[in-house]
Amino acid sequence: ADGELVQYHYGLKDLVTILFYIFIAIILHAVVQEYALDKINRRLHLSKVKHSKFNESGQLVAFHLTSMVWCLYVVVTEGYISNPRSLWENYPHVYLPFQVKFFYLCQLAYWLHALPELYFQKVRKEEIPRQLRCIALYLVHIAGAYLLNLTRLGLILLLLQYLAEFFFHMARLVYFTDENNEKLFNVWAVVFVVTRLFTLTLYILVIGFGLPRVENQALDPERGNFLSFLFNNILFRMSVLLLVCLFQASVMWRFIHFQLRRWREYWNEQSSRKRAATGAKQQAKPLKRDSGYHENGVVKAENGTSPRTKKLKSP
């Protein structure tokens, strides 16, 4: 009927849908690589290492930008930003609107498609462990939010994460085209710190204050209630918050260490340039001439006489 709201639940048929969109993601990946990244690479003439990183950042910029705009549209139209209480009210959120379910399935399909792309893109062996770790973390968090019925919180967290990742990979692309241009890295640094603070605030708000106030606190897997009874226990709740804070602190520590190393390299480069410029100026200074003037390669005194003493002839 017109105006009837249809909602969806997860099930085994989602695997077939995810498999279909894995093939779609592989095709889109090839299109971006062929018609955009390869053409830019041919103009830049990058080395093999930079060529691989450029392709990785180029693909992730396209994906993060698309996902960020899509996720922002979903959270705005569903009212999750205007009403933060909706992140935990009426938990568990078993039944999902179509656009929320479709977004999660596409996210899972993209990160699963990244596994065969490691072979298709001929990624170096040194880079494979790092990329596998990144793919596994995304899959665990997205699938966890989807299966544990924390889709609303997961959407906000993905939006913050993709915002920071977009600026990082965009800064890398600009750096590969012009190694003297590192302004976007400074923008990424500010965005990264702000998104970490918002992420930590959301965790404390939802886990510390939201889920413990849910009416149904009993474990009920059939209704999708997996977590509220755990967060009703203050000891478990504080332990989870402590783990979250430690994890965010470790992320910030690695970020600060990276920034300090980058600034140290920058200042060392600037100081070496200054020393080179100072040495060049000293070499360019004109040498002082002897008193007098030169004539046919011979130094003459100011009064026109030769500076060498004349030998007296014997009488």
Residue 298, in any domain of the structure? no
List the one residue out of 69, 234, 57 whose CA is nearest residue 131.
Answer: 57
Query: How does pLDDT run across 289-312, given as a tens digit for each residue?
Result: 555 545 555 555 555 555 555 555
> Mean pLDDT, to the nearest integer, of 90-106?
91
User: Position of tokens 């099930």?
Assistant: 11
Residue 279, in any domain of the structure? no
- Retrieve residue 308's tokens: 């060498």
Helices 183-203 and 234-284: crossing angle in degrees, nearest 10, is 170
Q: What is the DSSP string of the chain?
A: -TTPPP-B---THHHHHHHHHHHHHHHHHHHHIIIIIHHHHHHHT--HHHHHHHHHHHHHHHHHHHHHHHHHHHHHHTTTTT-GGGGTTT----SB-HHHHHHHHHHHHHHHHHHHHHHHTT--TTTHHHHHHHHHHHHHHHHHHHHTT-HHHHHHHHHHHHHHHHHHHHHHHHHHH-TT--HHHHHHHHHHHHHHHHHHHHHIIIIIIIGGG-S--S-BGGGTB-SHHHHTSHHHHHHHHHHHHHHHHHHHHHHHHHHHHHHHHHHHHHHHHHHHHHHHHHHHSPPPPPSSEEETTEEE-TTSS-SSPPPPPP-
Residue 297, in any domain of the structure? no
How many structural domains comprise the chain? 1
Residue 226, in any domain of the structure? yes
- Those residues with Cβ within 8 angstroms of residue 71's Cβ, 6 or more apart along the chain or in another chain: 103, 155, 158, 159, 162
Say which residue, 236 or 1, is predicted with more confidence.
236
> Mean pLDDT, to the nearest integer, of 280-285?
69
Please give the distance of CA 2 from its chain centroid, rounded to a whole number.
Answer: 43
Query: How does pLDDT run across 209-247, given as a tens digit for each residue?
Result: 887 777 665 666 666 666 666 666 677 778 888 888 898
- Retrieve residue 250's tokens: 């470790």
Query: How does pLDDT run across 124-144, given as a tens digit for each residue?
Result: 888 899 999 999 999 999 999
314: confidence class by pLDDT, cuts 50, 70, 90: very low
Say which residue, 5 or 154, is predicted with more confidence.
154
pTM value is 0.81
Q: How far is CA 83 from CA 8, 76, 152, 236, 268, in A?
A: 22, 10, 11, 27, 49
Residue 308, in any domain of the structure? no
Are 252 and 196 in contact by the 8 Å Cβ rule? The answer is yes
Give the residue numbers spanning the domain of 186.
7-271
Is residue 264 packed enough to be buried (19+ CB in 10 Å), middle (13-18) or exposed (0-12)?
exposed
User: Position of tokens 């009488």?
Assistant: 315
Residue 307, in any domain of the structure? no
Residue 305, in any domain of the structure? no
> Mean pLDDT, to the nearest integer, of 34-57?
86
Is the Cα dihedral 26, 32, 35, 40 positive or negative? negative
In this predicted structure, the answer to whether residue 264 has a pLDDT above a threshold of 90 is: no
Residue 256, in any domain of the structure? yes
